[in-house]
A and B are shown apart, each in its own frame.
Chain A
């Protein structure tokens, strides 16, 4: 069961921007940093954003993350066809003493 809530899907045309929301609670997003994972079709998830807004080496700066209170967002600017994927937010939950993932959002490039 996912504790973090995301919209099932978002879409945009090439070059546009999309934003994916992630809603949690005080025990997870409210107290801890948020990570985002990109899962391309048929592949393992890859870390896209960590510690709310940090990009691992190699991740384009078209991807950015933010957090406010018990919610977080992933923004993709200049959408490209290769951005079609499932995106998951995640955070440590102090009440569960473990990781919780979001429900996942599928981004479609029209």
Chain B
């Protein structure tokens, strides 16, 4: 059974870089149909997608965070990581990693077959809290 586990410092100083690792167990991080993503949730607020990475190293970032985010992957360790630079108190949140599944599906409507793209995050880690404080 696939499991994900976040790890990293719980406290980060303002203007420094937040670094987290997600360790994947029970499956290979190199599976072609999977990307791997980071999501965060500030205290008492909703979910925000940070970005995702493919086993080849290609990635997608939230435009609002792109200038500060780097997500990388280490297939030899079955891990992927998040670095968020120049942090402020607004980056205080619960950070989750997740498997990001993408592909193409087909359905039939009134006898016509059409293709569609699907995207979803189906397995999540338990999350790790990061507090930005001096």
Contacts and interface: CB of A to CB of B under 8 A. Distances in A.
User: Are these two chains actual partners, yes or no?
Assistant: yes
A107 B88 CA distance: 32
Contacts of B63: 96-98
Contacts of A56: 122
Nearest to A46: B124
Contacts of A1: 64
Interface of B: 37, 39, 46-49, 51-52, 60-64, 96, 105, 116-122, 124-127
A92 B51 contact: no
A104 B47 contact: yes
A33 interface: yes
A100 interface: yes
B121 A47 contact: yes
B60 A97 contact: yes
**Top 10 closest A-B pairs, CB basis?**
A99-B49, A92-B119, A50-B120, A101-B47, A35-B120, A104-B46, A44-B124, A47-B122, A51-B118, A33-B118
Given A33-B118, A99-B52, 8 more contacts: A32-B119, A51-B118, A88-B46, A98-B63, A99-B121, A101-B46, A101-B48, A101-B49
